[in-house]
Structure 1
């Protein structure tokens, strides 16, 4: 059995009851509509605070996805148990494969286990999906009851390659919009990004040997509006390209959110 690596984060948790349907992914078909749902509620923000000048070591997965918007510091916990969100890498869980995970939410604790850190990333994304919709905001949200239904989820992907393509050759998008696109793809557990970087309507990556590929090829005088048969154009110059450093940074951004990455200029 391989050594199990623990990443824990302590926050205050409470467990009220409400009247919504049981959200256990495996029990849902047989759940009774009148059965109250056990829920796990993140506690007061003060209980999870940390000093911004000397933040403690904490899980980058849970903090990046949950910390900023909730305002919780998610400081390290000494051991898994009550009032702890525990993310565990256990290589012996071969049944989960390279990207699967098990997520268990109880009234006083949250625990996720995976055979790899990639599986934990997907578990953290599922935890986000179980939280109120405000968790997807770009800034810290105050006055939100951060509650999670008690669930026991085992999620193993059927397909190793779950890709999505973005055609930036025909319509250039700035780097920050690509980051947003990657974030949304990761939320839906897509793990391969395919960028269509070159076509007759635009050359989108920097070639230091042939600079005119971007000086000329990255720009067009105007863009078509409507159907091709109508032959209407907007009269607005359009274009742009990504430097090699920007593409390297994008690859790193993708890798931090998924085990795989991809790119193409076909």
Structure 2
């Protein structure tokens, strides 16, 4: 999923699938309570200081995913990108190598730009739409295919981000059908929170072959409704999400020394 701010935790809390876990930098494994919790939940810890160790961790995680039938949730950008203009940073390749090694499909979730509701000094009530894209198969792919796979998946997500955020004037370049893409009969979507607006935006169709009409999609939305006085100050000092090949989900808690350095 695209990663905008700490507010994404509301979306994760509603759509996080069963039998799924996260990846994180290895340092968090030894943090009291959090480390034990993450270990028990099956988190994949990556040693970013040692390349061979990181590669081994990814290979081990891929094997575990196949044996246990589990999924890994990732933010491929590697850090937050909340901005007034809908965009995403280039994707890190680590999670795509993991998917190819495990031979599991990539299912993308795109959250609309919610700058209008939440940014520094502002926290308004409203709906946040999320669209679940058709899964992209990695069957038969190798590490040589990863670079192209990354570009195609990101282009799909960026086009969808513009669509559901109302940025129709800004369009990403069209691309061919992703390698091994699955063509489902309908998009996977569901409603969250309040009743969604009566607006549906279909996923862009990149195949020139006429497709049969799909059932009207439902919009997945997160309610950020606040009490009567909904305007509050945003967090000026949110902990930064460390980047380690796009596979870090859990933010590093801010320590007193960090506060001193930022001051």
Q: Which has the higher contact order (CA 8 A, sep 6+)?
A: 2
Greater Cα radius of gyration, structure 1 or 2: 1
Q: TM-score, normalised by structure 1?
A: 0.24
Q: TM-score, normalised by structure 2?
A: 0.24
